[in-house]
Chains A and B, each alone.
Chain A
Amino acid sequence: EIVLTQSPATLSLSPGERATLSCRASQSVSSYLAWYQQKPGQAPRLLIYDASDRATGIPARFSGSGSGTDFTLTISSLEPEDFAVYYCQQRSNWPLTFGGGTKVDIK
């Protein structure tokens, strides 16, 4: 099973700041990595798939990069609605797995 390790666990930032979230895989997942945003009481929402492709309707301030074992989700300038938990997910190998999440909260 591929283990995805997200860091940091919590990121405390102010609106307008840049957020950089990391996801590291225990073995190569090529570019088969997605990122999701989840707010309290809501279902996850797909942000990025295949490492760097933005999902439909996702603002350009969200970008993804990386391949192999190291991936990054960047939010260029945090908006108030961006404070949430973010998860990465790999689809390279069965079982499909998720990272443990990074919470972005307001400083």
Chain B
Amino acid sequence: EVQLLESGGGLVQPGGSLRLSCAASGFTFSSYAMSWVRQAPGKGLEWVSATSGSGGSTYYAGSVKGRFTTSRDNPKNTLYLQMNSLRAEDTAVYYCAREGTGYTDSHFDYWGQGTLVTVSS
């Protein structure tokens, strides 16, 4: 059974940093690209970033480029999102999601339960 479990969310001040993790199980992690998708309270879904199965290619939404970094540790079956220079508008539930085709430009066939990031003073 495919499982994705995010952790690392919490309350952080504007300008601060946070690192999210997503522990994957139930599939060959290195064979799949992965993405982060966020959802602000009461709002819709926004794709944030994607990384290829090897981690050699990464893509970012314009709203986070230069501030967020996605990485992965394939032996540990874990995806990361390093978030720096956080702003109030980054407040959201952050989901990790598996790319259904295995490649970065895909639909998302499995999602974690999400972790809430709140940016506030």
Contact = CB atoms under 8 A, between A and B. Distances in A.
Interface stretch (B18-26, B45-53, B74-82, B83-91): B45-53
Interface of A is mostly: loop
Given A43-B113, A95-B62, A96-B50, A87 B44 contact: yes
Interface in B92-121: 95, 100, 105-114
A45 B111 contact: yes
Contact of A46 (B50, B61, B108, B113): B108
Interface in B49-72: 50, 59, 61-62
Interface string A25-55: 0000000001010100001111001100001
Q: For this complex, into which size category does the number of interface residues on chain B fall?
A: 20 to 34
Contacts of A94: 59, 105
Interface size class of A (residues with CB under 8 A): 20 to 34
Given A43-B95, A44-B45, A100-B44, A91 B114 contact: no
Contacts of A56: 109
Given A45-B111, A46-B100, A99 B44 contact: yes
A98 B95 contact: no
Given A34-B107, A91-B106, 16 more contacts: A43-B112, A44-B45, A45-B111, A46-B100, A46-B110, A49-B100, A49-B107, A49-B109, A89-B45, A89-B107, A89-B108, A91-B107, A94-B105, A95-B61, A96-B105, A98-B46
Interface of A: 1, 34, 36, 38, 43-46, 49-50, 55-56, 87, 89, 91-92, 94-101
